[in-house]
Amino acid sequence: MVDVVLLDHDTCYRAVSAKDARFDGQFVTAVRTTRIYCRPSCPVPPPKARNVDFLRTAAAAQAAGYRACRRCLPDAVPGSPEWNLRADAAGRAMRLIADGVVEREGVPGLAGRLGYSTRQLGRILSAELGAGPLALARAQRAHTARILVETTPLGLADIAFAAGFGSVRQFNDTVRTVYGVPPSQLRAEAARRPACHRTPAGPPGAITLRLPYRSPFDPHGLLDHLAQRAVDRVESVEGGRYRRTLRLPHGPATVDLDLTARPGAVLATLRATDPRDVGPAVYRLRRLLDLDSDPQAVDAVLGADPVLAPLVAATPGIRLAGTADPAETAVRTVLGQQVSVAAARTAATRLAASLGAPLPAELRAADGPDLLFPDPVTLAEGLTASPPGGPARRAQALRGLCAALASGDLALDAGRDPAALRAELCALPGIGPWSAGYLAMRVLGDPDELLATDLAVRRGAQALGLPGDASSLTGRARSWSPWRSYAATHLWRAAVSAAPTARRNT
């Protein structure tokens, strides 16, 4: 049994007593008298302080013998923003576990990606998070299983394997242990909830999932960012919806994200080739939209600066756009070097039209995207046979990047150490600190990358009366840490307002 309390008891108990939803996903409340764990905002009366422990993860609570509260569903909340802030082994491991690495590669594969032995990694995670990698992955599987049980018509046996369990018996035992009831009862309870609390059914062949976030939330800034960069036939933005094709571990997929349909959550309608990809898809979409962010913490730091305060007040809950496909984002970043956003979009559209793969017919919607952005192997071969247009230096950089990705010499995933990734990127021809920093921001979700050399960041700073040179701006921005990536997003928007022709592809 794990019996590790990692958080300040008094601080956490105040949050639980106030039913403060800002802390949902950042820790769980384990009640010793009932052996149940809850989210901080659980609607039931708070337990007595002497009867509770506070743990960082649901996995730690499960390992200690607690089961999930079926009233507040502590796993149906945004994830902890701590995993983006932390670049240590524990934070990187949590990001990879959420992406399904343990299911696909096992604990040895996870440990190898992080550069540790399995024993070392187990000790680190148990000490930091109260649970080892298998327990953390088991909690992730239980969460995916609950989503599929409650929101899809899939048979329970199919759900067992889709969620990553090795057998139906293991699936049943885990669900009983975590939720206290068999999967069939979870499905029956979900069907009895009021319609306003249920996720709407998806169209035939699709599932609709609710992706919760912490308020405030700025959907329109994300939609504008995505619309300006949308690659024809790969993605589209219309109204409050973003649609795109996806390459997932077990096959292609499409997603339709409605960012404005329901307060407190984005609705995602997913069509996947293989149901095993539901968990990784949810994780990647959450990272794309920065749904695990703590906007009040970000706004509190940035809003304390008198120059940024009006921007924060005008756009509370600004989000840092991420990526659903790191390799695609890397390629598009190189295509966007030293050109406008529109020119970068045109170049990416041509590349996709030339080398992209058609979406399987069963996944296509009548008016939706129908093309998969080319994968690194296809790009490496295609760019060698037919060099891309544009400056020779950019073409060389693009070929070198795609070759490194295709060979596996360069790994782009959420578990990378930011400093190591920057160093590896800068070692490639034609990729400098700006591109490396930009990819750390978009791929790793690094919240503290100012990109002070970026032309649009500096123009935005000047428009606000801040220093316009990189060195002085870096010094001025020290008080914005650890949220300088969000500050850069505010500065980019200020630059667009002041000078819409800013050329840097942000």
- pTM (2 decimals)? 0.89
Helix residue ranges per DSSP H, 206-277: 219-229
Mean pLDDT of 226-250: 97
What pLDDT does 506 receive? 55
**Residue 483 above 60 pLDDT?**
yes
- Catalytic residue check, 454: yes
Q: How many residues in the chain?
A: 506
Q: Decide: 96 and 113 in contact? Cβ < 8 Å.
A: yes
Does the pLDDT of residue 476 top 70, yes or no?
yes
Please say whether the beta carbons of 373 and 328 come within 8 A: yes
Cα–Cα nearest to 40, from 138, 30, 131, 48: 30
pLDDT at 2 over 70: no
d(CA 6, CA 129): 8
Q: Is the pLDDT of residue 78 over 90?
A: no
* pLDDT tens-digit series, residues 317-371: 999 999 999 999 999 999 998 889 999 999 999 999 999 999 999 999 888 999 9
Q: What is the model's pLDDT at position 187?
A: 93
CA atoms within 13 A on the CB side of 343: 14
38 is catalytic: yes
Q: What is the pLDDT of residue 379?
A: 95
Distance CA 477, CA 435 (A): 20
Residue pair 280/391 in contact (Cβ under 8 Å)? The answer is no
Is residue 504's pLDDT more than 50? no
Active-site residue, from 24, 99, 448, 454: 454
Tokens of 204: 């035939």
CA distance 22 to 78: 10
Per-residue pLDDT tens for 278-305? 999 999 999 999 999 999 999 999 999 9
The percentage of the chain sitting over the pLDDT mark of 90, rounded to a whole number, equals 77
- What is the distance between the alpha carbons of residues 48 and 296, in angstroms, rounded to a whole number? 28
Give the pair of three-digit tokens for residue 444: 């790793």
For the CA atoms of 16, 20, 22, 26, the dihedral, rounded to the nearest 10 degrees, stands at 10
Catalytic residue among 12, 38, 72, 402: 38
